[in-house]
Amino acid sequence: MVNEAGSPHHLRVGGCHKRPDIGWQTASCMGARALPYEVSCDIIPPAIERVKIQITNIENDIKEYLTNPPDLMIERDVFSRNVREFKKPEGFDPNNNARKSWYGTYECEYEGKLRKMERQLKENINFKVYLEDRLKNWVKIA
């Protein structure tokens, strides 16, 4: 296939491609330089592999975070104008679920970052399941 500019890849002039019934695909999309999903599912296996790598990396980050809590937690506001630093308190135990996580404390910042990593892990696991389902149920549109 060739786009309007005569380019062999599937990016449209202007950097986006109209998807049938579901909006637009931009040049930043995972499959921007692959055949359209309606024609081929070749881009899904490498996408699944990338997500598996991401899952492994997040799992390793969580293990490292729980094993070696950082000595300093830094909180920035939305525009990074206000920065607050929190030093790890003496005797901090990352495995103690009963620790107090009051706002404005090291413990609160630590818990927040841990929960964020856990959400990212869950989102990536769900995305992998979604991609595997798309691959399993793919049918070429005539």
Each domain of the chain, given as residue ranges in start order, spans 1-40, 43-136
Query: Which is more confident, 60 or 40?
Result: 60
Residue with token string 């630590």: 110
Mean pLDDT of the chain, nearest integer = 81
Q: For residue 1, what pLDDT band results from cuts at 50, 70 and 90? A: very low
Residue with token string 């579901």: 22
CA distances from 18 to 26, 32, 69 (A): 9, 12, 47
Q: How far apart are the first and last CA of the chain?
A: 15
Say yes or no to pLDDT of 4 above 70: no
Q: For residue 25, what pLDDT band results from cuts at 50, 70 and 90? A: low
pTM of the model: 0.73
| CA–CA separation, 108 and 119 (whole Å) | 16
Contacts of 42 (CB under 8 A, 6+ apart): 34, 35
Query: Which is more confident, 19 or 60?
Result: 60
- Ranking 4-13, 52-61, 106-115, 128-137 by mean pLDDT, the lowest is 4-13
DSSP character at residue 98 = T
